[in-house]
A and B are shown apart, each in its own frame.
Chain A
Amino acid sequence: MTSRLMVRVLVTLVAFAVLARIPVGFDVGFKFDSGLAVIWAFGLLSLVLLTGYVGQISLCQATFAGVGAYAAGMMTATFHVDYIVAVAVGVAAAFALGIIVGLPALRLHGITLAIVTLGIALVFDRYVFQDHAFEWFTGGTGGWSVREASMFGLQMDSSKHLMAAYVVLLALFCLVGLLMVNLHDSGAGRRFRAIRDSELAAATMGVDLTRYKLLAFGMSAAIAGLGGAFYPLVAGNVSPQPFWLFTSLQFAAIAVLMGVRYVPAAALGGAFMAFVPDVLTRFGHGSLFGHQYEISYDWFQIAVGVLLIVQLIALPDGVWGDLRHRVRHARSAVGALGGRRVKVA
């Protein structure tokens, strides 16, 4: 067990070292994308916990991220606190909303839960984030702008110190990801998976459904909110658009597409979600055989929709899950050739 933990820590450290170096030397646009990729990866990671581990469907993860972003933006723009305090407030606000959303989930599951969370995402998108009644929280139509922000006394704002924010975000993601992988086999993780497999059986075995379902929703919202709380730092401002309903739907679609049960799939999905649209709009225009073409952001969402449909029909465990199974098969095939004993899972 401890050796497995050592391997996981080592792999995480290597991944962190490699990923932290990648954006160096690229232009500001790509550095911004890198930061955004980690923020979206947090959103997808929150679904790995909620859907992959606990089996609860949610279509309002971008709402949790948005609440984290707005709370952090409000704290820095109006109270000028250290950014770490702003992040803490953002995470706490998202956690609280997660618990509230979890309350109806105590009675619901499956498609009815999907309907309720879709409604919550729409209400926050159209009402809370855009209505005059909530200007104290959203900063009006312009949103909050974060110019001078510092964390532990280090300057970290979008204009000059984007890389610092990215490295902090990435380190946090690696930490939370590692905790999530370890959670899978822990006592709480086993209770979560028991709820996923059968709520009735889990309750019979003595799992406190109320406590663990609320905990799952709160933790998941806090993870999404942690990513969202860094959005003002990376983007320099907060607006309703990044956290609207369609981002929530994209979170659900991409999390399932990449493999909703696996932590690395969240990182893969975050990079997919941040880089592909930008690369498309940057390089997706020109002329081919004298015919002008232009690939806009809309093509990205069409691709996500179509890929999701194809994946659900053909590869039910997602892209990462399928890759994992293939690698396992190949390894056991090689092992069988060498005459070694193969562990049958």
Chain B
Amino acid sequence: MAALAAYTIIGLSLGGIFSLAALGIVLIYRTTGVLNFAHGAMGMFSTFVAWQVFYGWSHPFWPGWISTLLAVIAGLVFAALMGLFLEFAIFRWVRTRDPVVKAVITIGVLLALQSAASLIWKNNQYHLPIYLAPQAATFTIADVPIGANNIVVIVAALLLAFGLGAFLRYTSFGRAMRAVSDSPTSASLWGVAVGRVGAVSWMLGSLVAAVAGILITPFINFDTTSLTLLIIDALAAALIGGLVSLPLTVLGGFLLGLLETYPTIWIQSIGFPRLVALLVILAVLVVRNPRGFAVAAK
């Protein structure tokens, strides 16, 4: 029973990360019509920037929390700038193109980012994570010890999801973003700056991906490929939300996290969770009407 509870905690933490990664994908897809296969790679690159600040450039005499804070800020600022750069350098020029063409462009972004990271940080596995909460700190709820970092992930995922939802619902810029996701043409006729909305979506999406990447470091031996390949789990979660709904996406992320974790009680395999993700994707696509996704792109 205690083991099951422990696996549930791991699954929920993993699910929180999937939710965060998927939120960015849904946000970008809704407002710009780009299904971003490079989302994992973007999160990976920002995470490595944070890691570089944390372990490479911070002074040993600084207290730990300053290094952590600086690393997280550096990672997030870099992520926002990268999102802006991608929008201005690439996706601004292909706004009217077919969704498939835009998706293939993100594959180019993925390949370039992945290789650039492996060029800078080599193909080593890094065992030095960025802990946002003290590593050894645990809470005990009903005799089940829960690591503080697990709680940080789950809370961060829920907070960011609700924050993003509130931003889209209650602010005027959020309203503009929803208008663009419904119809860019009529939104621009109503005076919405479509270009600015796209730029902000890319910035926000990239930020959320960086948060997901930084939060996952305590749970895996991270390297350039494993974070890039997080994309498939994020896409599975995003598909559960139909590529439009934020609450369903978050729910899907947590569900997928649990589904991928429980089999590891019996099956010791790196690859098996990926099979779970693929089966979830297939199940969602068979049950839902796939044409719904194509409509959402317009």
Contact = CB atoms under 8 A, between A and B. Distances in A.
B108 A309 contact: yes
Interface string B280-298: 0110011000100110010
Contacts of A256: 104
A175 B61 CA distance: 68
Contacts of B101: 312, 316
Contacts of A19: none
Nearest to B286: A107
Given A104-B282, A301-B112, A309 B105 contact: yes
A119 B112 contact: no
Contacts of A298: 115-116, 118-119
B290 A112 contact: yes
Contacts of A304: 108, 111-112
B93 interface: yes
Interface stretch (A8-16, A122-130, A230-238): A122-130
**Residue among A108, A298, A306 facing the most chain B CB atoms (10 A cut-off):** A298
Nearest to B86: A309
B90 A309 contact: yes
B277 A115 contact: no
Nearest to B94: A313
Interface in A269-295: none
B110 A249 contact: yes
Interface in B102-146: 103-105, 107-116, 118-119
A252 interface: yes
B150 to A, nearest CB: 24
B108 A130 contact: no
A293 to B, nearest CB: 12
B267 to A, nearest CB: 9
Interface in A293-311: 296, 298-302, 304-309
B108 A119 contact: no
A111 interface: yes
Given A110-B100, A249-B107, A253-B108, A115 B290 contact: no
B149 to A, nearest CB: 25
A223 B107 CA distance: 23
Contacts of A327: none
A259 to B, nearest CB: 14
A268 B273 CA distance: 37
Nearest to B106: A309
B99 interface: yes
Interface residues of A, number: 47
A130 B104 CA distance: 27
Contact of A306 (B112, B232, B271): B112
Contacts of B297: 111
B104 A312 contact: yes
Among A107, A296, A302, A306, the most chain B Cβ lie within 10 Å of the Cβ of A302
Contacts of B272: 127, 131
A173 to B, nearest CB: 25
A123 B100 contact: no
Contacts of A252: 104, 107
A309 B34 CA distance: 14
A34 interface: no
Given A111-B35, A253-B111, A304-B108, A119 B274 contact: yes
A246 interface: yes
B119 A302 contact: yes
A65 interface: no
Q: Give me the 9 closest cross-chain CB pairs, A-B, nearest first.
A: A127-B271, A305-B112, A308-B108, A305-B111, A126-B271, A301-B115, A119-B278, A298-B119, A298-B115
Given A118-B231, A131-B271, A133-B269, 9 more contacts: A107-B285, A111-B35, A114-B35, A115-B239, A119-B235, A122-B278, A296-B119, A302-B111, A305-B107
19 contacts: A57-B100, A104-B286, A107-B285, A111-B99, A118-B37, A119-B274, A119-B281, A123-B271, A126-B274, A127-B270, A131-B269, A131-B270, A131-B272, A249-B110, A300-B115, A304-B111, A306-B108, A308-B108, A309-B108
